Amino acid sequence: MMQGNRAMDAEVSNVKVMNDDNEDNPEGGEAASNVTKLPQSGMQHLRMLEAMLFASTRPLSEKELADRMPSGIDVGALLSDLREVYDKRGIILDKVADKWVIRTASDLNYLFQKEAVQPKRLSKAAIETLSIIAYHQPVTRAEIEEIRGVTVSKGTLDLLLDVGWIRLRGRRRTPGRPITYGTSEHFLEHFGLENVGDLPGLDDLKAAGLLEANLPPNFAVPGPSDELGEEEDAYEEDEDRPDLLTEIEAEASETLEEGDPDDTEE
């Protein structure tokens, strides 16, 4: 029992309430760093303010605090004292929009941050476009549209480029020099492939249920290649990433110049 009382006395002695005159240290040294200095006369009022601010779910104005305090209390001065007490603590008394709130010190915000990878599902259009590029590379945007039968939106190719699964391979040696697309090293790493030649073949796709059992006699799975085609020039690394809308307009212009005007859609 005596040991328990001594431990309690030792703990209580670490917290000391100082009066307004700040008594000198009898040993002539500085006050201990773990001593909280609070004016003795306003201790109870400070506790009242602290309790209200701590329990509140929103910032409080001085008027709202003063309405619950004894009359004649200088709430502004007490708030300044309380702010000084919290100045070097893990939580601080802050003033925002002319109201007071207790919040975490800004330099400790990192303790509450959590980084997580949020997986994103590719749209059906993106999956179809990626599959066409993987099996038909090198392939242009116009060729992708011809295979899919619908227009490729700017966002679909931009998404696949941003994810890093496709790359700009080169330019086709045809009017307008359209960009050719192919898969990237990141694509191979993600799907565990040594090279594009390891993509699932006809039998693998049938076994996986991705192709019907009764296919046309002349049906064949394309053989993709990482090598430049005969009508393909390498894409320059320092060349700016093309704007897809500009590329579409350029190819459309070439088509109109070379084609029969009667064949174009109104």
State the pTM of this model.
Answer: 0.48
Over residues 138-149, the pLDDT tens digits come to 888 999 999 888
Residue 266's Cβ-count burial label (10 Å; 0-12, 13-18, 19+) is: exposed
User: Is there a contact between 20 and 37 (Cβ–Cβ < 8 Å)?
Assistant: no
* CATH architecture under which domain 12-19+33-108 falls: Orthogonal Bundle (1.10)
Least confident range from 9-18, 112-121, 166-175: namely 9-18
In sequence order, the 6+-apart residues with CB closer than 8 A to the CB of 213 are: 206
User: Is there a contact between 78 and 91 (Cβ–Cβ < 8 Å)?
Assistant: no
Compare 62 and 206 and report the one with higher pLDDT: 62
pLDDT at residue 19, rounded to an integer: 40
User: Is there a contact between 55 and 71 (Cβ–Cβ < 8 Å)?
Assistant: no
Q: Where in the chain is the domain with CATH 1.10.10.10?
A: 12-19+33-108, 124-254
Residues 236-252: what's their mean pLDDT? 55
Q: Angle, nearest 10°, between helix axes 43-55 and 75-85? A: 80
Q: Amino acid letter at 6?
A: R
Provide the terminal-to-terminal Cα distance of the chain, rounded to the nearest Å: 99
Pick the closest to residue 195 from 226, 218, 173 (CA basis). Answer: 226
> Is it the case that residue 60 has pLDDT exceeding 90?
yes
User: Is there a contact between 102 and 51 (Cβ–Cβ < 8 Å)?
Assistant: no
Over residues 46-56, the pLDDT tens digits come to 899 999 999 99
pLDDT at residue 100, rounded to an integer: 92
Spell out a b/e string for 165-188, using b for 16 or more CB atoms within 10 Å of the CB, else e: bbbbbbbbeeebbbbbbbbbeebb
Least confident range from 24-28, 43-47, 129-133, 177-181: namely 24-28
Pick the closest to residue 250 from 176, 180, 168 (CA basis). Answer: 176
Q: Which CATH number fits domain 124-254: 1.10.1740.10, 3.40.50.300, 1.20.1250.20, 1.10.10.10?
A: 1.10.10.10
Cα 139 from Cα 173, distance rounded (Å): 12
In percent, the amount of the chain with pLDDT more than 90 equals 14
